[in-house]
Amino acid sequence: MDVESTEAQLQVKFITKQEHYAVPDNPYALQSNVQTAELNTLVNALLKESNPDLKKAVEFDFLVCGELLCTPLSEHLQEKGASTEETLEIEYFERYPAPRPQDCLMHDDWVSAVQAHVNWILTGCYDNSIHIWSTKGQHKLAIPGHTSPVKAVSWVSFNNDQGVFVSGSHDQSAMLWVWNVEGNSVDCVVTCRGHEKGVECLAVSQDAAKFVTGSWDNNICIWSANLSDVDNVPVRKKSKPDHGSTREPLSTLKGHREAVSGVQWMDYNTVLSSGWDHLIKLWDCELGGIKQEIAGNKAFFDAHWSPHSNCIITASADRHIRLYDPRSTESIVKTTFTSHTGWVQSLRWSKTKDTLFLSAGYDGQVKLWETRSPRTPLYDLTGHEDKVLCCDWSNPALLVSGSSDNTLRIFKAKHAMGDS
């Protein structure tokens, strides 16, 4: 059968993992040049037949030969070299709703770090301050303490009416803070010192017992996240009372030859790091050694691992985002995503979906990607007027990004998509 012919017909079957959207398992004859819009109309008509109570049409995406359909089906099959003689399986699932701008939160300087947790957002700023916001856009606190730009922030834990968080700064320190939510007051409990240059990135372990920092001194330090000085944590004499006690690292991991740009815990003993030395490293924290090393061809500005897919996405100076599967014995780069026109600075996987991630770049763009659509992002989240330096997810429907235009932007999708 001639795939290029617009008159050609195909036999297709529709399949889905979302059982509430399942249609009869019959083959259907379709024109080979059919596009997503027509497939949506057809599937919704089939759904209406089998479920007359369905009030609204549902927007679906379609997966054909492992990739989202973005072109006429005939073109897609031709690119994939797929047979048109056999019955074609088309998987469909509810489309992630387009995020819409919700809030634009003004800061006094560049917003260089952000982390969201349920109802609260932490931001770090180039004016040395940390801020706490509600996800509804209410400013709760501006927190002084660091003496240089804050480059990394992370929540440690929430307990009843108390939030614990950590911040890292170019003043070479990381600080552990306790926020009394009801009283809306904050105290620095511990100042962590062990780096010889600025702290660029940090991450808290899943059990909230430790955190890790990466620095311009090329080193990675592991710290206790305990608020009290227990477990033989090295402590020096008290510094200024308003900065709590001073703590030294539990251990230091040395191996990067240039600045460490990203760190993340993969499990209780494994830390992922990315560096300006073109290297991704997986560390054994107990042994202090390297489990695995992945070489890139440009400086890595960020890397993020998904526990859902066990894959790593990386941000680089060459504008490309790459997806690595560290378990692969073949080509370790699985997919390349190209859409940004400037450096890609920050990446974050969805916390609930194994195929969705965010990217933020020097082109002022935030992009929402589906790993099965490498050639084009699902959505461009516009609004920033300068470099976007950080991004995160609060939940499946809330996305946040910080920029050198001094704003934090909150984008909200109408609802969180059901699991596909």
C-alpha gyration radius of the chain: 24
Mean pLDDT confidence for 206-217: 97
**Banded pLDDT at 394 (limits 50, 70, 90):** confident
Six-digit token string for 147: 């003496």
Alpha-carbon torsion, ordered 64, 335, 367, 295, to 10 deg: 170
In DSSP notation, 97-154 reads: PPPEEEEEEE-SS-EEEEEEETTEEEEEETTS-EEEEETTS-EEEEE---SS-EEEEE
- Bigger pLDDT: 215 vs 352: 215
Measured in degrees and rounded to the nearest 5, phi and psi for residue 302 equal -170, 155
**How far, in Å, CA of 91 to CA of 336, rounded?**
23
CB-CB contact of 212 with 271 (8 Å)? yes
241 SS3 class: helix
* Alpha-carbon dihedral sign for residues 101, 105, 111, 117: negative
pLDDT digits (tens, 9 = 90+) for 255-310: 999 999 999 999 999 999 999 999 999 999 999 999 999 999 899 999 999 999 99
Structure confidence at residue 141 (pLDDT): 97
Q: What's the average model confidence in pLDDT over 228-250?
A: 65
Q: Is the pLDDT of residue 236 over 60?
A: no
Question: Which three-class secondary structure state does DSSP give residue 356?
Answer: strand
* Each residue's pLDDT tens digit, 81-100: 888 888 999 999 999 999 99
pLDDT at 244: 79
Burial (Cβ within 10 Å: 0-12, 13-18, ≥19) of residue 4 = exposed
Band of residue 242 on the pLDDT scale cut at 50, 70, 90: low
Q: What is the pLDDT of residue 339?
A: 95
Please, where are the H alpha helices in 192-300? none
Tell whether the model's pLDDT for residue 118 goes beyond 90: no
Residue spans of the domains in the chain: they are 9-94, 100-412
In whole angstroms, give the CA distance from residue 83 to residue 2: 10
Mention the CATH class of domain 9-94. alpha beta
Superfamily of segment(s) 100-412: YVTN repeat-like/Quinoprotein amine dehydrogenase (2.130.10.10)
CA distance 385 to 111: 13
pLDDT confidence of residue 389: 98
| pLDDT tens figures, 369-385 | 999 999 899 999 999 99
Q: Is 181 helix (H, G, I), strand (E, B) or coil?
A: coil
pTM score: 0.91
Mean pLDDT, the chain, whole residue set: 92
Answer whether 9-94 and 100-412 agree in fold. no
pLDDT surpasses 90 at 8: no
415: confidence class by pLDDT, cuts 50, 70, 90:
low
DSSP of 267-296, one letter per residue?
ETTEEEEEETTSEEEEEETTTTEEEEEEE-
Q: What is the largest CA-CA distance in the chain?
A: 81
Q: How far apart are CA 416 and CA 12, in angstroms?
A: 29
Partners of 106 in beta bridges: 407
Nearest to 340 by CA among 359, 312, 324: 359
In tens, the pLDDT along 55-66 reads 889 999 999 999
Per-position DSSP letters for 367-387, written without gaps between them: EEEETT-TTS-SEEE---SS-
Task: Report which of 203, 162, 199, 157 is spatially closest to residue 182, judged by C-alpha positions.
Answer: 162
Helix, strand, or coil (residue 198): coil
